[in-house]
């Protein structure tokens, strides 16, 4: 976040003169926001997300001896133990159960409805839930086709079926959601296809699904690992430095270790008073596992045994916003409803997770204080100071709305905070979608029967002291557990219901299901029409009556709020890499491929007429070999040969730089995209015209954007405007032939 690193990097990497100035906002630009004590009665959730249908007689309580298997995010299904956290070389033992009596005294009186019954018993389903028109969804063509299958098998009036056999730790929240919707669950799976498959870990939890919808995208887990996310955001930072300054400056280890060391040394030499702190995060880690803070590059631990550690080292945000002197972060649930067209929803209610030791800016003395610096619930729950509370506005885990209320009461402009958070979410999604599209076409090639996908993601966001949101990470499998563990006697743990988790998570799952309901009415064009992101339009406490479906009877209004395509107007110009990915996919050739071979790369160059007397085909081959070899070195574990998307993007940037030397990078890239797309269009014109004439078959969401009522880009610079205005149209044109055939059928 500091411009010092950027300047140093420019000195170090003289070869890359990108012409960007990469201004970054200062960390402590504004004064600390004062906080007040919580409102006496904390019931800030006006959406009325009460949990219906739970039996008052049961508390959820069961004893386990092996705590390490439980209480984890599904992401951590590899079973890592997190009670001991290595920080700065020392092992900090979590103080399990120190303040146990207080916690127990409180929780033992807890009586929550029906959890036990729902955990073990059979759910009744109500056949009265009617899908009068179980026909098309407003999703992409595949979704429509997929449901044709299900539709044939389902009578006109039927209940939506959900395969919950692979739900893992989401099971209880899912069962409650299905019950509230009066849908039918299949706890052991089902021979006949289900409408919805709920997977606990990845797309591949259930193989051979040919229809319906799966709650995971192929490749999402890989894409959101810390290194891949950092790479994807970095590509966007190269193109749009100001728009992507919400992600802390990061270096990838081991490959950028030298660069990191050199840059930090130079920063310190340039100003001896500077003493930045860095946080090191293992690539595949979660729940704070293996995280440590350092102040000097020599403290990096680069190997595990003889193996180089894959990790990200990141600038540590030293001045977070504090409440009650404690650092906290926000867990926001985001539904990626569809990749093409891009549809994103944000849950209006989220969680905040508090540290359990008062915050101090990092010093050599406190670097290893996990409970002061890391907000992970899984760590802090083992601190003697952790406060379990049924109230949404007290305790170590609170609802997001209760925190926003509290900030609002102190005069903070929470409308601005919320709109900044929405922007962060949309921009992050735009950064990861290109690679997801490559995974998607590889796992479910166009023309092959397969399900469509959606996914709930967990965004971890830190608010800085100046209220600027910072993205820490995105979880592909956010924990959907609705109970928390408690140690009753040493080594014996109980799970008790957590009302705060239940309020938030059951709402998110239930409303995701409602949005994915195959019988759900398509949103009207006006709902999909791009709008403007204005501060204050979006506050997580508002109800959304217009999104309520008539079929949904007495259910509360949706807690998920559509933000894309709603805010296409502001963000569509950022989708340049997605257009590069569309080119990449087009030239992949063989179905299921994720890498471009040398011949395919040559075909791309030839087809788009990018070689000439100065840039010969021999130079093209050298470029291919150079870039592919370097990327292969950064991914030693990858068995696939060839050029992946990230390498192709680098090659594309290089080609753009050669061709349009005088322009800034983003305009170089936009201009080259236009050129390539125009070449492809001219070569396939006749065929394309036929395809375009079939645009009646296009999903309505795409149409509404293509034929947009107003031109959202009128204010953008000319080259950008030209490029972005073609965005959706060209996506359609660049679809591989087989996919187009699907549209036409
Ligand atoms: P994990 O997946 O292991 O939870 P995170 O990236 O979420 O890893 O980091 C764990 C915790 O460390 C976060 O919840 C946050 O409290 C703290 N943290 C992470 N990155 C930063 C950062 N750049 N600056 C300040 N705190 C951070």
Q: Whose CA is nearest to atom 1 of ligand 1?
A: 286
**pLDDT value of residue 238:** 98
CA distance 297 to 307: 19
CA 591 to chain centre: 27
Burial readout 206-239 (b: 16 or more C-beta within 10 A, e: otherwise) = beebebbbbbbbbbbbebbbbbbbbbbbbbbbbb
Return the pLDDT at 522: 62
In sign, the C-alpha dihedral spanning 701, 706, 709, 714 is positive
Q: How far is CA 508 from CA 46, 294, 543, in A?
A: 15, 37, 14
pLDDT at 100: 30
Distance in angstroms (rounded) separating the CA atoms of residues 697 and 719: 30
The residues, any chain, with a CB within 8 Å of residue 292's CB and separated by 6 or more, are 86, 87, 88, 89, 279, 280, 301, 367, 368
pLDDT reported for residue 687: 56
pLDDT-based confidence at 329, cuts 50/70/90?
A: very high
CB distance 255 to 634 below 8 Å: yes
pLDDT of residue 636: 63
Question: Which atom, in ligand 1's list, is nearest to the CA of 320?
Answer: 25
CA distance 43 to 144: 40
Is a pLDDT exceeding 90 seen at residue 303? Answer: no
pLDDT at 62 over 50: no
- What's the confidence (pLDDT) of residue 130? 29
Cis preceding-peptide flag for 254 (omega within 30 of 0): yes
Say how far apart CA 404 and CA 409 lie, in whole Å.
8
Residue 3 pLDDT > 90? no
Token pair listed for 659: 């061709």
Q: So what's the pLDDT on residue 570?
A: 97
Dump pLDDT digits (tens) for 435-478: 999 999 999 988 888 999 999 999 999 999 999 999 999 999 99
Residue 723: the pLDDT is: 31
Ligand 1 in reach of 279 Cβ (< 6 A) = yes
Dihedrals φ, ψ of 472, to 5°? -95, -50
Report whether residue 375 contacts ligand 1, using a CB cutoff of 6 Å.
Answer: yes
**Residue 212, CA distances (Å) to 217, 380, 447, 662 in order:** 13, 39, 15, 50
Q: Each residue of 249-289: pLDDT tens digit?
A: 999 999 999 999 999 999 999 999 998 999 999 998 899 99
Any idea what DSSP says for residue 464? B
pLDDT digits (tens, 9 = 90+) for 589-603: 777 789 999 999 999
102 or 572, which is more confident: 572
DSSP 3-state assignment of 327? strand
CA 38 / ligand 1 centre spacing (Å) = 26
Which residue is it, tokens 């919950």? 164
Rounded distance between C-alpha atoms, residue 379 and residue 361, angstroms: 20
Predicted pLDDT of residue 702: 32
Minimum mean pLDDT among 140-144, 170-174, 192-196, 485-489: which range?
Answer: 140-144
374, 475, 476: which to mutate for ligand 1, most atoms within 8 A of CB?
Answer: 374
Going from the Cα of 3 to the center of ligand 1, the distance in angstroms, rounded, reads 22
Whether the per-residue pLDDT at 225 is higher than 70: the answer is yes
Taking the CA of residue 289 as reference, the ligand 1 atom at the shortest distance is 3
315 CA: nearest ligand 1 atom: 23
Evaluate if residue 564 carries a pLDDT over 50.
Answer: yes
Q: Is the pLDDT of residue 527 over 80?
A: no
Which of 1, 82, 279 to mutate to test ligand 1, by most ligand atoms within 8 A of the CB atom?
279
Q: What pLDDT does residue 302 have?
A: 86
Of all residues in the chain, the percent with pLDDT exceeding 70 is 66
* Average pLDDT rounded to a whole number, residues 636-657: 89
> Is the C-beta atom of 286 inside 6 A of ligand 1?
yes
Q: How confident is the model at residue 181 (pLDDT cuts 50, 70, 90)?
A: very high
Q: Which residues contact 611 (CB under 8 A, 6 or more apart)?
A: 605, 617, 619, 620
Measured from the CB, is residue 140 less than 6 Å from ligand 1? no
Cα(581) to ligand 1 centroid in Å equals 30
Mean pLDDT of 8-18: 42
Give whichever of 336-345, 547-556, 691-700, 733-742 has the largest mean pLDDT: 336-345
Q: What is the pLDDT of residue 145?
A: 53
For atom 9 of ligand 1, the residue with the nearest CA is 288
Atom of ligand 1 nearest to the CA of 473: 6
Q: What is the pLDDT of residue 540?
A: 57
Q: Is 593 helix (H, G, I), strand (E, B) or coil?
A: coil
Q: Are strands 351-354 and 397-399 parallel, antiparallel or unpaired?
A: antiparallel
Nearest partner of 128 among 90, 158, 151, judged by Cα: 158
Spacing, Cα 611 to ligand 1 middle (Å): 46
The C-alpha atoms of residue 394 and residue 412 are separated, in whole angstroms, by 19
Q: Percent of the chain having pLDDT more than 90? A: 57
- Residues 334 and 346: their CA atoms lie apart, in Å, by 5
Q: Which pLDDT score, from 0 to 100, does residue 388 have?
A: 87
Q: Is 162 exposed, middle or buried (0-12, 13-18, 19+ CB in 10 A)?
A: buried
Between these two residues, 130 and 671, which has the higher pLDDT value?
A: 671
Please give the pLDDT value at position 718: 30
The answer to whether the CB of 379 is under 6 A from ligand 1 is: no
**What's the average model confidence in pLDDT over 302-306?**
79
Res. 559 pLDDT band, cuts 50 70 90: very high
Return the pLDDT at 148: 54
Q: Cα–Cα distance between 129 and 182 in angstroms, integer?
A: 7
Contact 289 CB / ligand 1 (< 6 Å): yes
Query: What average pLDDT score do residues 663-682 get?
Result: 97
- In 3D space, the residue among 154, 144, 139 whose CA is nearest the CA of residue 193 turns out to be 154
The number of CA neighbours under 13 Å toward the Cβ of 448 is 11
Asked whether residue 566 carries a pLDDT value surpassing 70, the answer given is yes
When the pLDDT of each residue in the chain is averaged and rounded to a whole number, the result is: 75
Which tokens sit at 454? 């959606």
Query: If residue 624 lies in a helix (H) or strand (E), which one and from where to where?
Result: helix 617-634
Dihedral pair phi/psi, residue 332, rounded to 5°: -110, 135
Q: Which atom of ligand 1 is nearest to the CA of 290?
A: 3
């Amino acid at each position: 976040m500091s411009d010092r690193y950027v300047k140093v990097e420019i000195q170090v990497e003289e070869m890359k003169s990108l012409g960007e100035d990469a201004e970054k906002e200062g960390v402590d630009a504004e004064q600390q926001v004062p906080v007040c004590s919580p409102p006496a009665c904390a019931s800030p959730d006006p959406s009325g997300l009460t949990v219906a249908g739970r039996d008052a007689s049961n508390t959820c309580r069961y004893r386990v001896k092996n705590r390490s298997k439980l209480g984890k995010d599904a992401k951590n299904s590899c079973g890592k133990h997190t009670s001991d956290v290595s920080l700065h070389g020392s092992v900090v033992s979590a103080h399990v159960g120190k303040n146990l009596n207080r916690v127990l005294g409180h929780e033992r009186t807890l009586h929550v409805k029906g959890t036990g019954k729902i955990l073990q018993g059979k759910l009744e389903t109500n056949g009265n839930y009617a899908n009068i028109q179980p026909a098309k969804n407003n999703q992409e063509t595949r979704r429509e086709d997929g449901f044709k299958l299900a539709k044939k098998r389902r009578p006109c009036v039927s209940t939506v079926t959900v395969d919950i056999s692979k739900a893992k730790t989401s099971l209880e929240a899912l069962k409650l959601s299905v019950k509230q919707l009066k849908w039918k669950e299949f706890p052991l799976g089902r021979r006949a296809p289900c409408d919805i498959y709920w997977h606990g870990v990845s797309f591949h939890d259930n193989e051979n699904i040919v229809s319906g919808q799966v709650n995971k995208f192929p490749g999402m887990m890989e894409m959101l690992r810390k290194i891949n996310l950092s790479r994807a955001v970095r590509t966007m930072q190269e193109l749009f430095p100001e728009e992507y300054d919400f992600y802390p400056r990061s270096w990838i280890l081991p490959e950028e270790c030298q660069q990191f060391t050199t840059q930090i040394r130079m920063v310190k030499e340039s100003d001896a008073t500077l003493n930045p702190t860095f946080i090191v995060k293992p690539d595949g880690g979660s729940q704070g596992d293996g995280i440590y803070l350092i102040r000097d590059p020599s403290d990096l631990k680069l190997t595990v045994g003889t193996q180089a550690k894959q990790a990200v080292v990141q600038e540590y945000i030293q001045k977070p916003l504090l409440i009650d002197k404690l650092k906290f972060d926000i867990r926001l649930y985001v539904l990626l409803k569809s990749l093409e067209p891009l549809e994103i929803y944000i849950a209006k209610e989220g969680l905040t997770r508090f540290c359990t030791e008062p915050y101090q800016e990092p010093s050599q003395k406190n670097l290893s204080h996990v409970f002061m610096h890391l907000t992970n619930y899984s760590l802090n729950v083992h601190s003697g100071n952790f406060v379990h509370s049924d109230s949404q506005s007290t305790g170590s885990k609170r609802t997001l709305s209760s925190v926003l209320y509290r900030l609002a009461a102190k005069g903070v402009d929470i409308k601005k905070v919320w709109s900044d958070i929405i922007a962060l979410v949309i921009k992050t999604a735009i950064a990861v979608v290109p690679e997801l599209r490559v995974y998607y076409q590889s796992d479910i090639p166009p023309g092959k029967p397969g399900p469509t996908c959606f996914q709930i993601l967990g965004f971890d966001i830190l608010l800085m002291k100046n209220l600027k949101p910072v993205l820490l990470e995105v979880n592909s499998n956010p924990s959907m557990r609705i109970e928390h563990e408690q140690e009753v006697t040493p080594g014996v743990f109980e799970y008790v219901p957590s009302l705060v988790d239940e309020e938030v998570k059951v709402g998110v799952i239930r409303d995701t299901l409602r949005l994915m309901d195959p019988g759900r009415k398509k949103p009207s064009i006006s709902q999909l029409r791009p709008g403007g992101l204005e501060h204050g339009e979006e506050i997580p406490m508002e109800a959304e009556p217009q999104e309520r479906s008539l079929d949904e009877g007495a259910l509360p209004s949706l807690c998920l709020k559509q933000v894309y395509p709603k805010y296409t107007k502001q963000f569509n110009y950022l989708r340049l890499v997605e257009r590069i990915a569309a080119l990449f996919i087009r030239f992949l050739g063989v179905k299921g491929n994720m890498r471009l071979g040398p011949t395919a790369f040559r075909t791309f160059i030839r087809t788009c007429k990018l070689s000439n007397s100065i840039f010969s085909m021999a130079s093209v081959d050298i470029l291919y070999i150079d870039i592919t070899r370097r990327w292969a070195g950064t991914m030693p574990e990858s068995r696939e040969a060839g050029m992946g998307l990230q390498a192709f993007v680098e090659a594309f940037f290089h080609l753009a730089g050669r061709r349009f030397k005088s322009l800034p990078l983003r305009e170089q890239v936009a201009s080259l995209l236009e050129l390539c797309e125009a070449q492809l269009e001219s070569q396939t014109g006749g065929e394309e015209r036929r395809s375009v004439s079939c645009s009646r078959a296009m999903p309505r969401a795409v149409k509404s954007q293509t034929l947009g009522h107003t031109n959202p880009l009128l204010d953008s610079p000319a080259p950008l405007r030209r490029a972005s205005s073609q965005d959706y149209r060209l996506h359609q044109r660049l679809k591989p032939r087989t996919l187009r055939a699907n549209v036409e059928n």
